[in-house]
Amino acid sequence: MVIGGNPGGMAAISQARKGKPDLDVVVIEKGSWTSYAACGIPFVVGGEIDGIERLVARSVEQHRATGTDVRIRHEATTIDLEQQEVEVRDLDGGESFRLGYDQLLVATGGQPVRPPLPGIDLPFVHGVQTLDDGKELLDKAVSHALGRVAVVGAGYIGLEIAEAFCHRGALATVIDQADQPMTTLDPDIAGLVTAAMIHRGLDVRLGVSVEGFEPGKVLTSEGEVEADLVILGIGTGPRAELAAAAGLETGAKGAIVVDDRQRTSVDGVWAAGDCCVARHQVTGELVHMPLGTYANRMSRVAGINIGGGDARFPGVLGTAITRLCELELARTGLSTHEAERAGFDVATASVKSLTRAGYYPGAAPMTVKLIYDNPSGRVLGGQIAGGQGAGKRIDVVATAITAGMTVEQVLDLDLSYAPPFGGVWDPVLVAARSAVSDRSSSAGASR
Amino acid sequence: MVIGGNPGGMAAISQARKGKPDLDVVVIEKGSWTSYAACGIPFVVGGEIDGIERLVARSVEQHRATGTDVRIRHEATTIDLEQQEVEVRDLDGGESFRLGYDQLLVATGGQPVRPPLPGIDLPFVHGVQTLDDGKELLDKAVSHALGRVAVVGAGYIGLEIAEAFCHRGALATVIDQADQPMTTLDPDIAGLVTAAMIHRGLDVRLGVSVEGFEPGKVLTSEGEVEADLVILGIGTGPRAELAAAAGLETGAKGAIVVDDRQRTSVDGVWAAGDCCVARHQVTGELVHMPLGTYANRMSRVAGINIGGGDARFPGVLGTAITRLCELELARTGLSTHEAERAGFDVATASVKSLTRAGYYPGAAPMTVKLIYDNPSGRVLGGQIAGGQGAGKRIDVVATAITAGMTVEQVLDLDLSYAPPFGGVWDPVLVAARSAVSDRSSSAGASR
């Protein structure tokens, strides 16, 4: 049995069947969709992608055609670990029943963080998590009546959805209590995001706390903000209450604790996706990091293991990318703050460079920042902001971190070059060169 | 003394001065320019870059302003290693004189391969190597009289220049005796290049040998090809006759032999750039691989060492990228053929994927091929062809090769994902997954 028709649940099924072709699989899904890419929702709302259905990689019918018993609009309400049964409620019919399992995969996903503020349950306050949420927001976005949208939280999702509404002609205000957007970025890189948002015409209110909601407005520490629609982008927490109530062990942020084979604390029960923890590759800590890449990967690992194989989830670096207001943004590993908190002796190198050779048309500015440890020189993290072609360069930094490379070793990498793609020294190498130069001059100074 | 005003020579100077601020530097340059990016020439000829001067990173005047004695239009004709002197001829004045040196950096660069064919010295047969070549070609490209251009050799430079002339409205024919373009690519990937070239309107003649030239035509094994202009793109050899005549040791393709500190066989004499060899990181062999990235890097290494420091050139993987007829092409490490010749038990995985999420507008096809060793799984090479955003992904493969990763380790990499940049599984991961799957099924079969 799989609880959750999202990629965290569904990707496991075909893997499990490779090992055990005769497996009977039943999927319990509260919403109306399966195997969808929730990360595409802002682009549908903004109109870049035509129709919410396009985000569905594999429909309910396609899953059923492979012999999977998919029950949409059904909610798992209790897991009985003792009896190996799950209580399920038919959301349309209303009746409840119990289903047995031999192996259970919990893939209940994530849910928007909803602080207990006055008015947060008003109908004009929305989350962005499921395709059903997406469909509602799309209806609002194309409605002519929409004038003002307030987004609470200036993280990836909040900013993406704010830009999407901006694109639809709404006046979008973004409110965050932090004094920078995207707190997974260092303040200097985040400052580039703020500038791009303001340039795009977003009303950005940083260092402002939301205190509650009343129809038509958001109450903040700096006065009222008018809004026809409010979207919560404060972050995604694990949807793990069901698992916790059943007695499965939970950890960081209340997420389900799993090992690297995606096993929970109870034999025969597995978990994958935004509902569970993952091990950070640099700090070794168990963290909650809800990203689509991990959900798919964890689900694959769970599926292989359920099918009798032996797969292991490699852990997370927190590599992420987005495009906001024409700016590509990417990060991996630890931020400066995270690295300091983890006890490293942190140094950074930040360089401004170009996405193409300086003489090539369309060359746009880009910034690369490397975060590394002293005196070892080991790379701990990286952040990039810039024009087209800037962001995916983060993957080199992610690969270097996994390989345990030092900034000296990064500088020695043989990266590709041609004028339409950058200068003779790739911006990642320019950053490494700056770090190496800082290190050799400080070594000189300490002699 | 530096022989060669190209990046292979000039990048060393500022590095050397960091260690030895009072260094007297004289540069002997045969042509009229310094510190230019020859790789930009096809884009100037094609009109994407406005003016040949834009390729100059640092002009003669700028170098002179830092105290460097730059002698352009001067040719070094003899190196006297015994006396530590170089005989120099003033190409405009005509007189020759001798200059002494304490340290000599030979950066004579590369030269187009010119097979001894009848008519190869006719004035309508051109190379693409120096800015002076580029200027001549640009003059031709903008001339209204230009009708037919024949390019001999379907390597990077040949194809780039053919496309450039095509862009200017000329009828361009590309002739190569191999039955694929770009022989550093595997035949299947090269086939995508051929298709793109034909689609672009280039006349492509593969498996055709050039037998000679007569005014207005190229003589081939398959008849005559009319041409107002012929461009040689057969490859770049080292320009190392001067060094060889002086008695410096030469190796692969006649290039100057250097160690990883860029020292030649003679004390106090250094070499950097397209004129010298480099060690291949995978095979360990000394090879001649004339790429701008290496020239800059070698020059930096030579400069640091001349200045009394200790820098080492890390060797080459052969990472290269280009954009041809809307197709991004990139490669690194060994091709299948090269890997077989080097004695590896070679396997490959090739997958078709997309540059963006399938539902995201502008998603274009891309192919990733990984070349790896069995049974170790170690990645030996990679090749990519595809739409915008495809090519730079090769840098992840290059980093993985340098780190000695297996396909299993590549599959475990935490690469960035968002819909405008790809699917949840980056195409490089999809290729690794295919390799891992091939390996586990063949392991099963052999049980």
Query: DSSP characters for B53-112?
Result: GGGBSS-HHHHHHTT-EEEETEEEEEEETTTTEEEEEETTT--EEEEE-SSEEE---EEE
Is the predicted pLDDT of residue B447 greater than 50, yes or no? no
Q: What is the mean pLDDT of residues B55-72?
A: 93
Q: Which amino acid is present at B146? A: L
Identify the band that residue A212 occupies on the pLDDT scale cut at 50, 70 and 90.
very high
Model confidence at B392: pLDDT above 70: yes
Instruction: Note whether B379 and A62 are within 8 A (CB).
Output: no
Contact A418 B316 (CB under 8 A): no
Sheet strands side by side (includes B74-80):
B74-80, B85-90, B96-100
* d(C-alpha A171, C-alpha A150), whole Å: 8
Residue B290's nearest CA partner among B3, B71, B8, B4 is: B8
Cβ contact A403–B403 (<8 Å): yes
Average pLDDT along chain B: 94
Chain B touched by A7 (CB under 8 Å): yes
Q: What is the per-residue pLDDT across A283-312, written as a single tens digit (0 to 9) for each?
A: 999 999 999 999 999 999 999 999 999 999
Question: A141-150 pLDDT, tens per residue?
Answer: 888 777 899 9
DSSP character string of A275-338: TB-EEBTTT--EE----HHHHHHHHHHHHHHHTT-------B---EEEEETTEEEEEEE--HHH
Residue A170 identity (one-letter amino acid): A
Looking at A361-427, which runs of residues are DSSP E strands? 365-373, 379-386
CB contact (8 A) between residue A40 and residue B321: no
A365 touches chain B (CB under 8 A): no
Q: What pLDDT band is residue B446 in, cutting at 50, 70 and 90?
A: very low
pLDDT-above-70 percentage for chain B: 99
Give the separation between CA A414 and CA A407, rounded to whole angstroms. Answer: 14
pTM of the full predicted structure? 0.95
Say what percent of chain B tops pLDDT 90.
82
B234's CB contacts (< 8 A; 6+ apart) are B112, B113, B114, B115, B152, B153, B155, B158
Statement: residue B406 has pLDDT above 70: yes
Residue A67 is classified by DSSP as T
What does the pLDDT read at residue A444? 56
Q: How confident is the model at residue B248 (pLDDT cuts 50, 70, 90)?
A: very high
Phi and psi of A134, rounded to 5°?
A: -60, -40
Q: Which helix H or strand E contains B223, and what residues bound it? A: strand B223-226
pLDDT at residue A356 in the model? 92
Taking the alpha carbons at both ends of chain A, their separation in whole angstroms is 65
Q: What is the mean pLDDT of residues B128-151?
A: 87
Look at residue A447 and tell me whether its pLDDT is greater than 50: no
Residues of B in contact with A7 (CB under 8 A): 424
Give chain B's count of helices (H) and strands (E). 12, 25
SS3 B210: strand
Number of A–B residue contacts, CB under 8 Å: 180
CB contact under 8 A, B43 and A320: no
Q: Is B330 on the interface with A (CB under 8 A)?
A: yes
Q: What is the DSSP string of B106-146?
A: E---EEE-----TTTTSTTEE---SHHHHHHHHHHHT-TT-
Q: Mean pLDDT over residues A29-56, rounded?
A: 89
Q: Is A310 on the interface with B (CB under 8 A)?
A: no
> pLDDT tier at B444 (50, 70, 90 boundaries)?
low
Mutate to test the interface with B, among A313, A417, A429 (most CBs of B within 10 A): A417
Q: Which helix (DSSP H) or strand (DSSP E) does residue A157 occupy? A: helix A156-167
B344: confidence class by pLDDT, cuts 50, 70, 90: very high
pLDDT in tens, B288-308: 999 999 999 999 999 999 999
pLDDT higher than 50, residue B256: yes
The pLDDT of residue A35: 86
Q: Is A355 in contact with A387 (CB distance < 8 Å)?
A: yes
Q: Please give the mean pLDDT across all residues of chain A.
A: 94
Strand A286-287 and strand A278-279: the pairing is antiparallel
User: Which are the contacts of A273, defined by CB distance < 8 A and separation ≥ 6?
Assistant: A4, A6, A7, A8, A9, A107, A108, A109, A110, A290, A294, A295, A298, A299
Are B363 and B354 in contact, with CB atoms under 8 Å apart? yes
- What pLDDT score does A274 carry? 95
> Of A81-90, A354-363, B212-221, B278-287, where does mean pLDDT reach its minimum?
A354-363
